Amino acid sequence: MHIGIDASRAARPQRTGTEAYSLHLIRGLLALDQENDYTLYFNQPPVFGLLPASPRCRQSVIPFPRLWTHLRLSAEMLRRPPDILLVPAHVLPLVHPRRSLVTVHDLGYLHEPQAHRLLDRMYLDLSNRYHARVALRLLAISHATKSDLVRHYGVAPERISVTQLAADASFRPVMDTAAIAAVRARYGIGPTYVLYVGTLQPRKNLVRLVQAFATVAAAHPNLQLVLAGKQAWQYRQLLAQVQRLGLAGRVLFPGYVDAADLPALYSGALAFAFPSLYEGFGMPALEAMACGTPVLASSVSSLPEVVGDAGLLVDPTDIPALAAALSRLVAEPDLRAELRQRGLVRARAFSWERCARETLAAILQATEA
């Protein structure tokens, strides 16, 4: 069988959740599947060594500045269609094989419309309606996303496979205090900090996190809040909140953090805060647990199924509850130690091998249709 995969996201140098998922899933499938042939479609040449060389895997680089999916990838599907097409982090091309699978990461634009631009909401809604109608099978990265697809788009549950994500093997506790100190120095971070990692956008609920931190910061003058990630829509509102609360210098914005530095940054943190209003999975929470960092997360969408009883879960709209949970993590070393151990155990329940195995099973189910 010839399996084609849209690998355009996997080749991006700066990876957030969807890019990391694409890369690890492709690596996992190539390691697991010794029977089928693969073609990986890129819109830019991948870095040498990004993926293992294999006689069963061909890389097809199709450069094109705009509308790559619907024009150039569609043209490729007309000329040389694979038996099955998998799109792990984008949208199905207009021309695609009948046996096509697509991963739906989340429907956050329906749950939190005010946190998305109007045109973004329209595009995401149209894309997922299209997927719900034409894809032979859908992959959901959490049970929460599967439930959303059934509820909002009427997708039959048997057409959806849940393939949960995992943390990369590099995310493990860093015990070298000098290495942690070097990373902190690189980003201008002090020794005592609460960490957030992710895109800085309204859906991540960071304005409320800053408000909660203001309450805790008054009692802990050396404590910092580190909001690591790329700036996105309405970022200035977050900056304005920090200024209004007089927290300049206490709330730090180091920007995008290189993946190689993240394990040390997680490991050095007093706690990890992830109060998102909606998540399709919540990869940073899992990465933090894998590094032994106590986690505070919101009690909505997919985060309870990821964090389980290994972290503190609170209503993300309840600022006093967020502040109380932060205060507990800062003031109670026994609680941090307990959550550290629970988190390490919880993180081991997720693996990219399992994700790849479940995805391959879904692909094989599609061959029977």
pLDDT digits 0-9 by tens, 299-327: 999 999 999 999 999 999 999 999 999 99
Q: Are 357 and 305 in contact (CB under 8 A)?
A: no
Domain boundaries, the chain: 2-166+351-367, 177-347
pLDDT digits 0-9 by tens, 253-311: 999 999 899 999 999 999 999 999 999 999 999 999 999 999 999 999 999 999 999 99
pTM of the complete model: 0.91
Helices 206-217 and 235-244: angle between axes, nearest 10 degrees: 20
Range 177-347: architecture per CATH: 3-Layer(aba) Sandwich (3.40)
d(CA 268, CA 50): 28
Instruction: Inform me whether the pLDDT recorded for 139 exceeds 70.
Output: yes
Instruction: Inform me whether the pLDDT recorded for 14 exceeds 70.
Output: no
CB burial class (10 A; 0-12, 13-18, 19+) of residue 249?
Answer: exposed
Instruction: Inform me whether the pLDDT recorded for 106 exceeds 70.
Output: yes
Helices 319-331 and 206-217: angle between axes, nearest 10 degrees: 50
Q: Domain spanning 2-166+351-367 has what CATH number? A: 3.40.50.2000
Common-topology check for domains 2-166+351-367 and 177-347: yes
Element containing residue 340 per DSSP (H, E): helix 333-347
Give the pLDDT band (50/70/90) at residue 172: very high
